[in-house]
Every structure is written in C-alpha cells, then in structure tokens.
Structure 1
C-alpha cells in the first residue's frame, strides 16, 4: 500500500473471541462483513501461538471469501504464515522498519500513535496507516497513554498525510465529528462484537460514516 494512496476502507473491525462473548468470532465477523465492515484485524493477545494461528487461518478463509483485507495484530510470524494483508503494531511491538525488512510481501503496516512526537520518527514513516487510539477513553483498554479526542485527530491530520484509523469508544452519535476532524476510517470492537445484531450494528455504523 502506497502511503500516499487513498485509504479505501471506512469501517474497520478489531475482533477476538473474548470480545464476542458467547457468539463464535467467525459468525460475528461474517455478519459484520455483510453489514458493511470492509477490513478486519484479528487481535488475540492471550492466545498461545497455535490457537492464534488456527483462528487466523479460519478468519483468512472468511475474509478471502468476501475479498476484504485481514490484518494481524502484533504477530509477524502469524501474519506471514496465513499470508495476511498486513499487520498492526504499537510502540512496544516489533518496529515497522523491522517488519519491512523481514516481510517483503507485506501490503499494509499499521502503527499506533501514542504521542504526537512519534510523527517525526522513522517508524511512522515506515507505516502505511496510523491508529489513533483511543479517541475517547474506554473501560476495556486501560494501558493507553493519550486520549486524543476530536481535537487530537485534527492536530494529527494537519501534520501528516498518512491514513488515520480512529478507535476508542466511537459510536453512532460521535462518528461524524471524528470523520470531520480528519479520520479516514473508523475502527470498532464492542460496537459490533457486543451488539445483539452485528450485521445491523455494522450497517448502521457504515451508513453514518458515509453520510
């Protein structure tokens, strides 16, 4: 993915089995795709390698069926083995520059932005898109550094042309303000994974983004 190209995705689902409660994550993912999700990241922080890999293969079959990208969270070995579209990492994970050196087939590297000063680093330069997290603080992710807010997105937008993926307590009532501030894409977890009807939830979110 060329960093200067238009990021074509609008609704980005970050999924794990634990986020889906009693529902199987593949069922939730398929309903979400049918509702409008157009890129999916598999994030299984607590799984052993073989379990994570098995889930990744299953999800890759599904995303291939619908011809949408699969991103793997913070595991280069799994991303390479399943031939994912890309990988998403943070400051404490493997660096984007190292990923480029070790995975020449990578089409997309996402990198989480925690400090505005990161924009000047070689890691941001190497990344294809930036994750802005959290836009609004959530109770489910407590290890975040900066709560960016809408003004934070606007500030970042003025400083970089990289595609910006906004995540963190985003819902139907605040999507428009986040997009208007300069986000290219909205990422969600519980807004779809915890929804009674993931397909409907995805449809409503996508419709609000496209307004």
Structure 2
C-alpha cells in the first residue's frame, strides 16, 4: 500500500459536524488516508464510529487507520493501526492484525525511526514538526532539521505531523516526507474539502 499524500486525522472533537461528514469532505478534497482518533470514548462507541467511517472510506477506496487500538482496527475491519511509543508494541499489533495490516508508529528521533523499521513498521509518523494545538500531551517540536534526519534514516515512508498548514507544507515535503498528517488545518476550516485541496497544492509545490 502506498503511504503518502495527505493523511487526515478525524475524530468526534468537532461536535458541530458528524465525523462521517468531515471524513467524506476531506476525501473529496483529496485526502489519501484517513485516521480515526478517539481519545475519550468507550470501546463500544469507538467500534461503532469506526464502522460508520469505514463505510465512507470503502466507498471512496481510501484506507482507514485506527489510532492506538489494534483491537478496534481488527473489529472494524480497518486497514491498520497507528501506534504511539507507549502503545502496544509493533510485534503484538502484528500478531493481532496479521501480515497484511498497515502499522505505523509515532517517533521523535532518527533512532526511534530506525528501531520502528527494524520491528516491522510500515510507515513512520514524525513530529510534532511545529507547535500544535491539536494534542494536549504533544512532545516538543522537532523542527525541520530533525524531520530531515528522520526521513533519511529509514527507507519506509515518513508522514510528518504537527502544526502543518499550507504556508509550511512545502518546507515539510522538502525535508523528505512522503506526506503530511493534519487535523486543525482542515477540520477547523469552514470548507473542509477546499482546505484539504489547498494543502495538497502546497505540498506539490515542492515536486
């Protein structure tokens, strides 16, 4: 599976818009991967929401990645799971989901990226690159220089995340990222599809 382009991270943190509508708008704008992130919900609610979102992503042929929870990914039939450094180890997530699942992991250093690749990760989520308002417990920003080092330390795709908008997306892609992951830049916009398309145009200015 090609892990690249715009990776949209959706969740129920926007109460004025159903997550299914947000996901569909992002896909219409050109998002190539959807991640569902639910931090404050029950497993039952998470599975139900993941199943509804998967119906949307399946309709458009877009992969769905579940944040943190390999069990939710398995139960919902999602494409894979994205793990944090303190989540279930990659080898156990692989046992749960199987060899064909896509498994990504967040890193902040080249050393973590190299270890993740050795352990069988399919892609890296590197960041936060810049300060972010979307995650209360975010690590300090790594900056463009460290992002460059991470991108060039591994051969698997690196998706940059954290404080990325249309005005700095070109710089991020220039560091060697295969794509960018965003929340606020598109889901806080009045027109999600238009904001997604604008970001994709900014990413392509580097190519």
Among residues 132, 139, 142, which one is paired with 2:136 in the alignment?
142
Q: How far does residue 102 in structure 1 lie from its aligned partner after superposition?
A: 2.3
Aligned to 1:4: none
Between the two structures, name the one with larger relative contact order (CA 8 Å, sep ≥ 6). Answer: 1
Q: 4+ residue runs of structure 1 moved beyond 6 angstroms?
A: none
> Which runs of structure 2 are paired with 1:16-165 in the superposition (5 Å)?
16-18=11-13, 20-104=14-98, 106-121=100-115, 123-125=116-118, 126-165=120-159
Q: Deviations over 1:127-154 (max 9, x none)?
A: 0000012010213323233411111111
Match of 2:62, SS state, is coil
Q: How many residues align?
A: 204
Aligned to 1:14: 9
Is the deviation greater in 42-51 or in 144-153?
Answer: 144-153
Is the deviation greater in 74-83 or in 132-141?
Answer: 132-141
Q: CA, structure 1 residues 120+202, in 2 after alignment: closer, same or farther (shift >3 Å)?
A: closer
Aligned to 1:208: 202
Q: Is the 8 A contact 1:74 1:88 kept in 2?
A: yes
Where in structure 2 are there 5+ consecutive unaligned residues?
A: none
In the aligned structure 2, how far is the partner of 1:203 from the partner of 1:117? 33
Q: How far does residue 116 in structure 1 lie from its aligned partner after superposition?
A: 3.2
Match of 2:152, SS state, is helix
- What root-mean-square deviation, in Å, do the aligned CA atoms of Structure 1 and Structure 2 show? 1.4
Q: TM-score, structure 1 length as denominator?
A: 0.91
Where in structure 1 are there 5+ consecutive unaligned residues?
A: 2-6
Q: How far does residue 106 in structure 1 lie from its aligned partner after superposition?
A: 4.1
